[in-house]
A and B are shown apart, each in its own frame.
Chain A
Amino acid sequence: MTRPRSEGSRTATSPPPSASLRAPRGRGLKEQLIRGLFLLCGLSAVAITLLTAWTFVQGSLLFFREVSPAEFLGSIRWAPLTVPQSYGVLALIADTLVITGIALLVALPLGILSAVFLSEYASERARRLLKPVLEVLAGVPTVVYGFFALRFVTPLLQGTVLPDLGFWNGLSAGIVMGFMILPLVASLSEDVLYAVPRSLREGAYALGATKFEVIWKVVLPAGFSGIGAAFILAMSRAIGETMIVALAAGRTPAWPPDPTEPMMTLTTTIVNIATGDHEATAFIWSALFAIGLLLFVTTLVLNIASYFIVKRYRERYE
């Protein structure tokens, strides 16, 4: 705001040598205010995170007064609505991990191989064209993925390799969830591979390495920690995913966790009770908060782990 004025005076006549070098009145205060405003915006993300954490801790206090964390985490049976009630999430954790595992099994090889293709084999033009297409996959609403799993993948599997597959099952949900996190894995891995310095590749080529040897023995190992970070982020995304599993995996915890059977993840459990027409007591709500807290802590830990892995990777070439 002050620019036109000061420039105007400068072009009209250059200021006399005795002109004051002091700031105009109020400038300092304005700068302070602006700084404060930005600080506030920056802090809001932190505040929201802390508030969320606090809400979950507060909300689950009632639950943990009755049920010990050992029983919560160590018991298999989740039955908050039937007598005798039981609040074990071990089966839910197992189901969550199995579905996440299936998703990663689909997304990791596909994602890393697409990343290798985009970064090493595709022409610059193909790369510029394909990468946005891949990222479009990330923008598909998860409810669409869920419906796709339920109405397309499950019938497809039933009609071909697994005739006994349940209408609801963990397998289709896991596979489709793999498609959902594929762009995340591919895009992050591609960035990592593309960032491996050219000089490293040339060093390997100059020793008589083939293109495959350069990729397999130099580029991929150099990008290993970055790909590891992508893996962890994808995992935390898969653990927190709700809509696909709610639609396609069912609402019954499977123990032992068999992906051809209906499965219930931690997230579906919350959806199930929070949206169901059962009369949920304050205590059951508190149990949901406990599950929420578990999810929150898990994904937080995974995200922090990925942050440190990425940081370590960055230090490598600088």
Chain B
Amino acid sequence: MAPTPLDTRTETEALAQRREELQGLEPAVVAPSEPPVLQTRDLSIWYGSQRALDRVTLDLPARRVTAIIGPSGCGKSTFLRALNRMNDLIPGVRTEGEVLFHGQNIYAKGVDPVEVRRRIGMVFQKPNPFPKSIYENVAFGLRINGYRDRLDERVEEALRRAALWDEVKDFLHKKSGLDLSGGQQQRLCIARALAVQPEVLLMDEPASALDPIATARIEDLIHELKEEVTIVIVTHNMQQAARVSDYTAFLYLGRLVEFGPTAQLFENPIRKQTEDYITGKFG
């Protein structure tokens, strides 16, 4: 369905207008009361010459769930991947500003991204289990991190925390991770990430490829995990953000528009753009 020229123009005009409104506007931030684990300071990211993220400053509170919302292309995945230096793997990406993990800039000279990722785990949009047995999927991170003893125990613990143990305990070694259903695969990926005991778990639209029941299980899981782990979740599903998160950040056109407690952001947004987005006026 090709838009008519009229549609295109109004669309572009609306975009230009919103872009204008954003210019010079400071983000509306209600700072969390909890101590931060991760903080970004004027974080900007370019893909080649295109700026995907524009000076984002944000404190991510410990043992809470923070949701990053915003329309497609607003930079939310880019932001998330910057938090454990996954963007390093993409050629042509340039990062400016700081990401502080317990006050230490992970982009500073001498910081090894491998060490960063061992502390800050990640779960991806599409489940990506390795073509290995269920057991080996979970043991992978343990092995490369030098755990040699009590592997069975640690694998079981991780699978239990990901609420997958009861479903897979009878064929840990027999079935491949790829034999599981989509929702189980995603929980396997969560178990895999949890096995190495990360302090922070980054989740990039972890339920977008799943059916509603599998989604609900993942959301329940997030609720349980936040007791021990700081979670940052990117989602394009606003109901999901409202259900699972304590804090929400709204990104638009690469900029942070608003950040605050989830209930407040959804019920009493400060910025007009936030309100327009969560009420579905654009997106």
**What is the interface of chain A, defined by CB distance below 8 A to chain B?**
124, 197, 199-210, 213, 217-218, 221-222, 316-317
List B residues 209-235 near A (Cβ within 8 Å): none
Interface size on B, residues (CB 8 A): 27
Among listed B40-48, B125-133, B164-172, B263-271, interface-contacting one: B125-133
- Contacts A208-B115, A208-B196, A217-B144 given; does A203 touch B121 at CB 8 Å: no
B181 in contact (CB, < 8 A): no
A164 to B144, CA, bound (A): 48
A189 to B130, CA, bound (A): 19
The residue in chain B whose Cβ has the minimal distance to the Cβ of A315 is B178
The residue in chain B whose Cβ has the minimal distance to the Cβ of A225 is B131
A316 touches B131 (CB 8 A): yes
A202 touches B144 (CB 8 A): no
A207 to B129, CA, bound (A): 12
B134-153 toward A: CB 8 Å interface, digit per residue (1/0)?
A: 00000011001100000000
Q: Which residues of B contact A202 (CB under 8 A)?
A: 86, 89, 122, 124, 128
- Contacts A208-B141, A208-B196 given; does A200 touch B128 at CB 8 Å: yes
B15 in contact (CB, < 8 A): no
Q: Which residues of A contact B192 (CB under 8 A)?
A: 203, 207
Q: How far is the CB of A209 from chain B (nearest CB, A)?
A: 5
Q: How far is the CB of B203 from chain A (nearest CB, A)?
A: 11
A201 to B196, CA, bound (A): 17
- Contacts A199-B124, A202-B89 given; does A207 touch B117 at CB 8 Å: yes
A85 to B193, CA, bound (A): 70
The residue in chain B whose Cβ has the minimal distance to the Cβ of A222 is B131
Q: Which residues of A contact B131 (CB under 8 A)?
A: 200, 221-222, 316-317
- Which of the listed residues A124, A206, A208 has the most CB atoms from chain B within 10 Å of its own CB? A206
A57 to B122, CA, bound (A): 61
List B residues 96-126 near A (Cβ within 8 Å): 114-115, 117-119, 121-122, 124, 126
B189 in contact (CB, < 8 A): yes
Can you list 27 pairs linking A and B with CB atoms under 8 Å apart? A200-B130, A201-B89, A202-B122, A202-B128, A203-B124, A203-B130, A203-B192, A204-B140, A205-B89, A206-B84, A206-B124, A207-B121, A207-B141, A207-B196, A208-B114, A208-B115, A208-B118, A208-B119, A208-B141, A208-B145, A209-B140, A209-B144, A213-B144, A217-B140, A222-B131, A316-B131, A317-B131
